[in-house]
């Protein structure tokens, strides 16, 4: 990628990230970059938005706590 194209891509991502923060989407810069790349590849933006909303609704799985009666190996 030539330097001008790279600079334009960086500025576009910065603008999209700023808009994302204003809209309080909760997306980090890397996730937003991946979503933009998927849209550039032709994926449906509305379908991606639906997937992101669904994933944000799901509770984060937590690692099970080790019980005190289990043997330590």
Top-confidence residue, 12 or 66: 12
Q: Mean pLDDT over all residues of the chain?
A: 88
Mean pLDDT of 14-28: 95
DSSP states of the chain: --HHHHHHHHHHHHHHHHHHHHTT----HHHHHHHHHHHHTT--HHHHHHHHHHHHHSPPP-PPPPPTTSPP-
pLDDT at 21: 96
Q: What digits encode the pLDDT tens for the residues 39-67?
A: 999 999 999 999 999 998 877 777 676 66
Q: Which residue ranges make up each domain of the chain?
A: 3-57
Is the per-residue pLDDT at 27 higher than 70? Answer: yes
Mean pLDDT of 31-44: 96
């Amino acid at each position: 990628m030539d330097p001008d194209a790279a600079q334009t891509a960086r500025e576009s991502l910065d603008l999209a990230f700023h808009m994302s923060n204003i809209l309080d989407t909760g997306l980090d810069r890397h996730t937003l970059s991946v979503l933009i790349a998927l849209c550039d590849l032709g994926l449906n933006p509305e379908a991606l938005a639906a997937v992101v909303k669904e994933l944000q609704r799901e509770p984060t799985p937590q690692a099970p706590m080790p019980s005190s009666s289990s043997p330590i190996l």
